[in-house]
Amino acid sequence: MPDGREPHTIRTLSGINDVPAEQWDACAGADLPDFNPFVSHAFLAALENSSSACAETGWTPCHMVVEGSDGKLAACAPLYLKGHSYGEYVFDWAWADAYQRAGGRYYPKLLCAVPFSPVTGPRILIRDGENREGLRSTLFAAMIQFATKHDLSSVHVNFCTDTEWQQARQAGLLQRLGTQFHWKNKGYTDFDDFLAALSSRKRKTIRRERREATGQEVTLRTLRGDEIKERHWDAMYRFYLDTSNRKWGEPYLNRAFFSALGNEMKDRVVLFVAEDETQNPVAAALNILGGDCLYGRYWGSLDDYRFLHFEACYYRAIDFAIEHRLSRVEAGAQGEHKLARGYTPHPTYSAHWMLDSGFFSAVERFLDVERDHVSGEMTELSALSPFRRTQKHAPEKSP
């Protein structure tokens, strides 16, 4: 049994296709019940092969792999040289501005993350049977060494797991805390069973929203696998562009990505589509199915349909999770409006290291204050939970 003392070789790759999919996915835990599809070879390849994540878009792949003496991957990590801070959802624009005003060069930086995906999951992927703690320490140290060697301003590990977050601190990285809203399945038998756990006023509100959402001459369908055609991807891309242009001005993903996703991960795509009376899609919500979680990713519509966003993105996701006995729904970044719909606050984690010692100390002081603020905010938000007092959900504890 490996004990962490076996010889290993660490190297960086210029693209995800430089490593066999089966070896990467063996480290990513593709066969595990709680598999996170966003760190799969297929998802990362869809981003790179479509040129959504590439040097030209400011995401230069430099994935780090650890190979054993047998030539097989023992561990790996999705890494990118970033020329900006777009598409990360852990915001460091103020850090970049302060460092550059002080005469430093913030970009490029080294980022360990999944592009455009504010989804918590493992960032140090380790093959079963390997020394997990030892290999995490090895890769955190290798990231810092890589950044130092190439004079990069910083290393960032975004949306990592709690375990990785704690070990990153031991490796010398700073800890940052964030918040998302997740729905937890408490063994509900159906949607009405979930509603029964809410206060009377919230139950009535949600029932009214669902009635109005589906009473607008639209039909909602759940599509999976081969049911999703290219015409659906055409529509989803139009919806995505509309939402992107209204929210942040420039879309991160191109049309080719959606086809690649449908081809390579069709068994994990769950598309809630709203159609008009001619069966033309007028709105849709794109979700990715993990081992024990439904991840909401993109939404858009051609018109302003009352409450349809809540129905397609939140309530249908809950229906799906209950039916398929999933433990939770993660509906993406931000959005306190999710709280009233049964999604409760949960911590997210990131870790950061700066080459410049003065800059490191300044960020450390900021994060000490910010963590206290975020923890307090989660407590306050939990007090606004829609669940009845006996069902009140507290936020997950954070160190």
pLDDT in tens for each of the 399 residues of the chain?
A: 344 456 789 999 999 999 999 999 999 999 888 999 999 999 999 999 999 999 999 999 999 999 988 889 999 999 999 999 999 999 999 999 999 999 999 999 999 999 999 999 999 999 999 999 999 999 999 999 999 999 999 999 999 999 999 999 999 999 999 999 999 999 999 999 999 999 999 999 999 999 999 888 899 999 999 999 999 999 999 999 988 877 666 799 999 999 999 999 999 999 999 999 888 999 999 999 999 999 999 999 988 899 999 999 999 999 999 999 999 999 988 788 899 999 999 999 999 999 999 999 999 999 999 999 999 999 999 999 999 876 444 455 444
Give the H/E segment covering residue 282. Answer: strand 281-289
| Cβ neighbourhood burial of 99 (10 Å; 0-12, 13-18, 19+) | buried
Residues 166 and 241 in one domain: no
| Cα–Cα nearest to 78, from 118, 134, 38, 107 | 38
Question: Could you tell me what percentage of the chain is helix, strand and coil, using 3-state DSSP and rounding each to the nearest 5?
Answer: 40, 25, 35
Q: Which domain holds residue 291?
A: 186-326
Does the residue 335 lie in any domain?
no
Helix segments in 191-252, DSSP class H: 191-195, 200-213, 230-247
Q: According to the model, what pLDDT value does residue 355 have?
A: 98
Residues 134 and 204 in one domain: no
Half-sphere exposure of 321 (CA within 13 A, CB side): 30
Residues 34 and 145 in one domain: yes
Residue the block writes with tokens 């390997």: 130
**Backbone CA torsion sign across 55, 57, 58, 63:** negative
Residues 142 and 237 in one domain: no
Q: According to the model, what pLDDT value does residue 346 have?
A: 96
**d(Cα 370, Cα 361) in Å, to the nearest integer?**
14
108 upstream amide cis, omega within 30 of 0 = yes
Q: According to the model, what pLDDT value does residue 247 have?
A: 64
Distance, CA of 96 to chain centre? 23
Residues 124 and 140 in one domain: yes
Does the residue 334 lie in any domain?
no
Does the residue 127 lie in any domain?
yes
Residues 166 and 204 in one domain: no
Q: According to the model, what pLDDT value does residue 28 have?
A: 97
Residues 243 and 212 in one domain: yes
Q: According to the model, what pLDDT value does residue 6 have?
A: 60
Task: State how beta strands 73-77 and 59-61 pair.
Answer: unpaired
Residues 26 and 114 in one domain: yes
**d(Cα 313, Cα 204) in Å, to the nearest integer?**
19
Q: Is 50 helix (H, G, I), strand (E, B) or coil?
A: coil
Residues 88 and 217 in one domain: no
Give the count of domains, the chain: 2
Residues 28 and 155 in one domain: yes
Residue the block writes with tokens 């939990």: 382
Go through 327-351 and write b for each residue having 16 or more CB atoms within 10 A of its CB, e for each that does not.
bbbbbbbeeeebbbbbbbbbbbbbb
Q: What CATH number does the domain containing 267 carry?
A: 3.40.630.30
Residues 286 and 213 in one domain: yes
The structure tokens listed for 153 are 């301003």
pTM, to two decimals:
0.93
Q: According to the model, what pLDDT value does residue 395 have?
A: 53
Q: According to the model, what pLDDT value does residue 370 have?
A: 98
